[in-house]
Amino acid sequence: MSRPPQARLLHSPPTPDPARSIGILGGGLAGLALAALLGERGHAVTVYERDRAGGKLRRVTVGGLSFDTGPSLLTFPEVWQTFLARLGEMDPLDLRPLPGGLGVHHTPFGAVPLPVPPDHPLHAAWETYRTPLLDLAPHIGTLLTTPPRLGDPAFRRASAALFRAVGGHLTAGSWVRARRLPEALAHAVGTHALNAGLAPRDAPALYALIPALVAGNVARPARGMSQLLDTLTMLGAVRGAQVHEQAEVVRVDPASARLTLSGGEVRRHDLLVSALDPARLAALLGRPVRSPVARRTVSGVALYAALSGPAPLPFTSVLPPADFGTFRAAVRAGALPPDTLALVHADGPRLAVLLTAPATASRLGPDHPWVRAQVQRVERTLGVPGLLASARDVLALPPSHYAPGGHPGGAIYGAALSPWRGGPLHPQPYRLHPRLWQVGTGVHPGGGLPAILGGALMVDALLAERRLAPR
């Protein structure tokens, strides 16, 4: 892959040491990020990807227009800068602020833009919510990029700041209720618990703080999110990392660091790192996988529509469920909620409508009655009736799209963990065996791209502290 024109190496990468061979299972963003970091240290890295590299971040063409699927924005850009600094690289992404920040949240109690502008009736309440959290902001980068070890003074300071901010509340729902915010603002803030794929009652309290921490600092690359995929691929390639697409791993033996591909070929490395969902890795290790629907995070239906002209909408609109309790009960039962979280991104003639759905691997398409009802709710709320029906072409990615190779049912954020196990204080092990490690959002849950990049930085740092097992 050609290097993006903005990228410039500050130094020549070291020559990979063939005696230190590392196999990475999964060519999503976590696997690609870690490949670049390990390649920088001189290791010979091979990435095995069952499909195409990029994971959920893909380019698709709909009605002659190019769309980026998967992550739609980049928050906590300091994590990206930390990643680049460890590689000794300049930033090739040309990040641009996202118009409107986190978007307008159309709650049952009124529309709330986040961040709330000074001329809005809720601005004073927004400042009351936001100001006490400013002391936490400088520590978020540390929490997202530093292994959670109490022996580390930097981590202790950052985690202490987080504990002060959450004030002893375990869940986002509890934290929001204790703030006694106006109903519209409380509902908008509570919506961000779904960044962890969970309702406010189940999500870690940290997710109720996210609007205050990122609302004014939301960005995406000037050439779209797929530029991040290009950049990670390039950064690994110039450090000797090899990415094998259509190379499905069907068995893993951690004792010998051997993996078997679908064609029967056996590969051996000094070390293996899984960037797969933990449930998928368990299957490759021959262990039983049990994941009841009630213990999964949510899945989704993504609709990408090519319009005849620019959509008369802001860049981002958010429609939360009217009642989080009703929503939670439905998805935990594997049922379609009466109304759901809908994210709408409008970029000229490109329209993306992302609907949250239970993780049941269902094949929900544009003509499904529930999907039609949710689209009509979006159009009615935003004042654009019939907008999707007028599109020249529509592509739908249902929950079944996210299921192969991922968590059962297409659960986008993996298993639903207890609140104390989510976010930067996660105690999930990165090291499963002397020769088998793991990385990715299944290990460092929630948080989107910052968690992906931060988890890769953590594993890189932890591996650098240990001697690789000999051949």
- Range 435-441 average pLDDT: 93
- Range 316-341 average pLDDT: 97
Length of the chain: 471
The reply to whether 287 falls in a domain is no
Please indicate whether residue 19 or residue 329 has the higher confidence score (pLDDT). Answer: 329
Banded pLDDT at 20 (limits 50, 70, 90): confident
Q: What's 248's domain CATH number?
A: 3.50.50.60
Domain limits for position 258: 17-62+73-94+222-277+418-464
The reply to whether 12 falls in a domain is no
Same domain, 309 and 346: yes
* pLDDT score recorded for residue 427: 64
The reply to whether 108 falls in a domain is no
For residue 115, say if its preceding peptide bond is cis, omega within 30 degrees of 0: yes
423 has pLDDT over 80 = no
469 has pLDDT over 80 = no
Please indicate whether residue 406 or residue 31 has the higher confidence score (pLDDT). Answer: 31
* pLDDT score recorded for residue 447: 62
Pick from 168, 198, 217: which residue ends a domain?
A: 217
* pLDDT score recorded for residue 465: 86
Same domain, 147 and 198: yes
Banded pLDDT at 72 (limits 50, 70, 90): confident
* pLDDT score recorded for residue 432: 94
CA–CA separation, 71 and 351 (whole Å):
15
Same domain, 328 and 378: yes
Say which amino acid occupies 262: S
Banded pLDDT at 446 (limits 50, 70, 90): low
Q: Note whether 275 and 440 are within 8 A (CB).
A: yes
* pLDDT score recorded for residue 6: 40
* pLDDT score recorded for residue 279: 92
Same domain, 323 and 384: yes
Nearest to 196 by CA among 459, 458, 420: 420
* pLDDT score recorded for residue 80: 95
Banded pLDDT at 14 (limits 50, 70, 90): very low
9 has pLDDT over 90 = no
Q: Could you report the per-residue pLDDT of 201-258, keeping only the tens digit for each?
A: 999 999 999 999 997 789 999 999 999 999 999 999 999 999 999 999 999 999 999 9
303 has pLDDT over 90 = yes
Same domain, 232 and 88: yes
- What's the domain count of the chain? 3
- Range 171-189 average pLDDT: 97
